[in-house]
Amino acid sequence: MSSFGERLLEAFGEVPKSKIAEILGVKPSAVTNYLQNRVPDEEKLRRISDFTKCSIHWLITGEGNKFVDNKKDEEIELIGINFDGLPPSKKKRAKPFIDMLNRELKRIADDPD
């Protein structure tokens, strides 16, 4: 089975490390750490997935579909757009639901069927 660093290289293809660092908003030394199998935080994983269209589950584990399901991505994107449009007081009220939804999506993704 491949390592996180190997999957990261596969996901980005020929993109130079300096460009990966720019995309992720980190220093090139952080990218070096990721290539040495240090798994980045959730925000960076989302940026990697957004740019490469690779599934976060696949990036972390090497299992499942390599690429995200576009239909599911569009549905999640719509949720994000609606959430972004909320005033801060309503975002605070919606956050527990969003957290629960994220936990459930992770549980579903981790379920071997």
Q: Residue 95 corresponds to which tokens in the numbers above?
A: 């956050």
Q: What is the DSSP letter of 36?
A: T
Give CATH superfamily name and number for 4-61.
lambda repressor-like DNA-binding domains (1.10.260.40)
User: 86 pLDDT band (50/70/90 cuts)?
Assistant: low
pLDDT greater than 90 at residue 45 = yes
pLDDT score recorded for residue 77: 47
Using the predicted structure, report yes or no on whether residue 107 has a pLDDT greater than 60: yes
Alpha-carbon distance of 25 to 76, in angstroms, equals: 23
- pTM (2 decimals)? 0.61
As a whole number, the mean pLDDT across the chain is 82
Residue keyed to tokens 């952080």: 30
Q: State the pLDDT at residue 71.
A: 45
